[in-house]
Amino acid sequence: MNAKIAYTAHNTPKKILSNFDLEKIVNTSDDWIQSRTGIKQRYIVENGEASSDISTKIAEQLLMKSKISADEIDLIIVGTVTPDHYTPSTAALVQKNIKANNAWGFDLSAACSGYIFGLETGSNFIRSGQYKNVMVIGVDTMSSILDFQDRDTCVIFGDGGGGAILQPTKERYGIIDSILHMDGNGGDYLIVPAGGSRIPASIDSVKNRSHFIKQDGKTVFKHAVKGMADVSKKILTKNNLSGSDISLFIPHQANKRIIDAAAQKCGIEENKVLINIEKYGNTTAGTIPIAMNEAITENRIKDGDYILLSSFGAGFTWGSMLIRWEMKL
């Protein structure tokens, strides 16, 4: 038994923050941002909006599309590094909001790899035979941890997310394989220093702006290019496939140059690579599920297609996943 992605959905806040808006906030320019990242705009929450609000809208869409009741959801997994609270979990808030009375769940912290890690986790619950409807959501409200005085980070990220309902399927379809990695030696290069038990919130931590994300961009870029490219190539080789066998490559949307390098190493043609970073920026755990739902809406995925996912994020975490798509019959 495998797990298949049966239904997908995504959601973003209504407010758009363009590169020209950022020019008024920090010393940057539209040309500078586009040339280095490929980003033109991103969505940002209004005051009072949080990750559980976006996640709940995703969950409600999934229930509407699937026509199953909330009581039929067995498990809710939310990949995020920007939960509403340390406790309760965002998954618990979603469970309450949609009244999924029979579900349990948890949050999963793997930064930009959160959705792929969540899919792998959820698929194994399906394979156990004990679960039939697993909801996996990848979401982040990155504006909540951005320093809008730091042009190297505040121009990159946006808010939003997406998700899926996983269900059992026959063996030759669904999530075929995954290769996942983590290397904590990279932790200091992309980090929110304060707010946890190491540096609890204090007057000094706030004054030092330590609750915002910090990034060594050059180091992260170097590792991301190699990590995403190598793991994507490895999973194809492991499954006796080549780039020409892939119908659609859906990579994490962090930087267009990273995406291009991974696609080239795998021999995947440009028209088979989904890039939407110009509209959303980097929504961290939200990028892949947003892109996947857009691909389905635009009829870019057909029955029997091989779909390749790949990500790289803080931790460091990275991985790739191979899916053979099964249309709902």
- Is 10 a catalytic site residue? no
Catalytic residue among 11, 19, 255, 282: 282
3 in Cβ contact with 123 (< 8 Å)? yes
How crowded is the C-beta side of 52, counted as CA atoms within 13 Å? 19
CB atoms within 10 A of CB 211: 16
Catalytic residue among 252, 255, 266, 293: 252
- Is 112 a catalytic site residue? yes
Q: Tokens representing 209?
A: 């702006």
Q: Tokens representing 109?
A: 């912290």
The phi, psi pair for 253, rounded to 5°, reads -95, 80
Amino acid letter for position 94: V
Catalytic residue among 2, 19, 112, 255: 112
Q: What is the torsional sign of CA 283, 148, 52, 65?
A: negative
Report d(CA 95, CA 247) in Å as an integer: 35
Q: Tokens representing 38?
A: 């490929």
Report d(CA 295, CA 283) in Å as an integer: 17
Report d(CA 323, CA 4) in Å as an integer: 8
CA-wise closest residue to 158 among 314, 11, 38, 283: 283
- Is 181 a catalytic site residue? no
Report d(CA 228, CA 222) in Å as an integer: 10
Please give the helix or strand (H or E) that residue 11 lies within, else none.
Answer: strand 2-11
CA distances for 4 relative to 15, 207, 250, angstroms: 33, 47, 16
CA-wise closest residue to 139 among 163, 118, 161: 161
Report d(CA 31, CA 286) in Å as an integer: 25
Active-site positions?
112, 252, 282
